[in-house]
């Protein structure tokens, strides 16, 4: 068993970070850098949107290199749909960071988030990168976590400490995401650091599997962004025996990584634009991951389901209807549905239930829905939000 500690990404030995305002946003931090004092291996998962921002393409290329040392991130401007200049600006952010840190540009990754279709103010970004490098510190994780936010209302970070083969290992993470959240992945960014000693190949495998059961099982509004990415850097400073095969040490690392990523994913939903409730949907007895995910996302992306939860209306019929059009095969006559501990459907037939008890359950900040399909041995848990008046207000005036 491990323990949660403070410090975010810089709780991990060997990592430094900073977050500053360079002028992309008027009076909030908008540029972050985090840096490993020693060479690290990296892994990444990127948006499935056909429209990919320049920083996504540059980072996916550089991540193929053997080592990664630094990541530079700006908020307030996505550098997406910005043509050749956007590509050149992403490359310049990499080269400037590398120059100030005395690195090879191929050791630097870049990420951006914010409004699509605007050019970066590179004169401000250039000065900001220099400031951020000068401000790097071993306690700068929280400042970096603040600098990557857009419409978020809270910082999202965690650090977790555990043991592998008698060595203390730490994982730190920070994330941003509030709207445009339906990852495969969503405007979500997550950056993870660890001091575990692991091969680049297994690090990528661990991250890919972890994303499937965390960030790819959350949704706020069904939209997948142009800039989504999750990056993981491992610098080996824990000095555990190198993990280069899928044994006990690998499983311990994966379990800890899953805990960190699920915690971050839930934080994103709690801070979803206009969110008043987190909705947790657990599907029991599904045939496989893909069919379970498709059904869970169908439920959580349904505007009728989301508005029912916002209105605290136990309208379970909207849930079974969303399941029916999710294009995931199931047998309706087998389905049981529970709201919290209250069963509302049994074997495909609605039950008479206590409306007062249902209202008590739906008034909670976190509402759990359990659906048993009785078709297989897989269980899937996904997280989403309700749909409130405030969500419409925020997104009807995003640019202004």
Catalytic residues: 187
Cα 232 to Cα 69, 92, 109, 175, 275, distances in angstroms: 11, 22, 11, 12, 28
Q: What DSSP assignment string belongs to 192-228?
A: EEE---B-HHHHHHHHHHHHHTTGGGEESSS---SS-
Token pair for 124 = 């401000």
For residue 165, count other CB atoms closer than 10 A to its CB.
14
Please give the Cα distance from 192 to 84 (Å, whole number). 30
What is the C-alpha R_g of the chain?
A: 22
Which two tokens mark 287? 């045939």
Tokens for 48? 């499935």
Sheet holding 378-385, edge to edge: 218-219, 378-385, 278-286, 366-372, 336-339, 342-346, 349-350
**185 prior amide bond cis, ω within 30:** yes
Q: Indicate if the alpha-carbon torsion angle 238, 244, 249, 250 is positive or negative.
A: positive
Q: Is 285:374 a contact under the CB 8 Å cutoff?
A: yes
Q: Is the dihedral of CA 103, 61, 188, 235 positive or negative?
A: negative
393 is written with which tokens? 């207000």
Q: What is the dihedral of CA 340, 365, 143, 229, to 10 degrees?
A: 50
First to last CA, the chain: 47
Half-sphere exposure of 112 (CA within 13 A, CB side): 33
């Amino acid at each position: 068993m491990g323990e949660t500690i403070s410090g975010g990404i810089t709780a991990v030995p060997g990592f430094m970070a900073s977050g500053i305002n360079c002028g992309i946003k008027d009076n909030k931090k908008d540029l972050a850098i985090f840096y490993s004092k020693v060479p690290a291996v990296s892994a990444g998962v990127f948006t499935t949107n056909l429209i990919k921002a320049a920083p996504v393409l540059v980072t996916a290329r550089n991540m193929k290199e053997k080592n990664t040392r630094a990541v530079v991130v700006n908020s307030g401007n996505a550098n997406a749909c910005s043509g050749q200049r956007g590509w050149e600006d992403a490359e310049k952010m990499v080269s400037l960071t590398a120059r100030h840190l005395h690195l090879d540009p191929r050791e630097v990754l870049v990420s951006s988030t914010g409004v699509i279709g605007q050019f970066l103010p590179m004169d401000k970004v250039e000065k900001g990168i220099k400031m951020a490098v000068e401000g790097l510190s071993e306690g700068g994780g929280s400042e970096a976590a603040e600098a990557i936010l857009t419409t978020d209302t809270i910082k999202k970070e965690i650090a977790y400490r555990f043991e592998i083969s008698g060595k203390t290992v730490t994982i730190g993470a920070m994330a941003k995401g509030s709207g445009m959240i339906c990852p495969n992945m969503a405007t979500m960014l997550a950056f993870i650091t660890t001091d575990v000693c692991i091969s680049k190949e297994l690090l990528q495998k661990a991250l890919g599997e972890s994303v499937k059961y965390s960030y790819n099982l959350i949704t706020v509004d069904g939209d997948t962004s142009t800039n989504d990415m999750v990056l993981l850097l491992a610098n080996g400073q824990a000095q555990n025996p190198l993990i280069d095969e899928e044994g006990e040490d690998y499983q311990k690392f994966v379990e800890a990584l899953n805990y960190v990523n699920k915690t971050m994913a839930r934080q994103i939903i709690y801070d979803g634009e206009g969110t008043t409730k987190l909705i947790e949907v657990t599907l029991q007895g599904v045939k496989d991951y893909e069919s379970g995910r498709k059904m869970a996302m169908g439920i959580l992306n349904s505007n009728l389901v989301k508005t029912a939860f916002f209105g605290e209306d136990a309208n379970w019929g909207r849930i079974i209807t969303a399941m029916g059009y999710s294009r995931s095969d199931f047998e309706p006559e087998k389905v049981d549905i529970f709201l919290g501990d209250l069963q509302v459907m049994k074997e495909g037939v609605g039950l008479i239930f206590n409306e007062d008890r249902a209202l008590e359950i739906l008034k909670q900040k976190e509402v759990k829905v359990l659906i048993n399909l009785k078709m297989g041995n897989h269980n899937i848990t996904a997280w989403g939000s309700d749909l409130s008046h405030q969500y419409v207000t925020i997104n009807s005036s995003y640019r202004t």
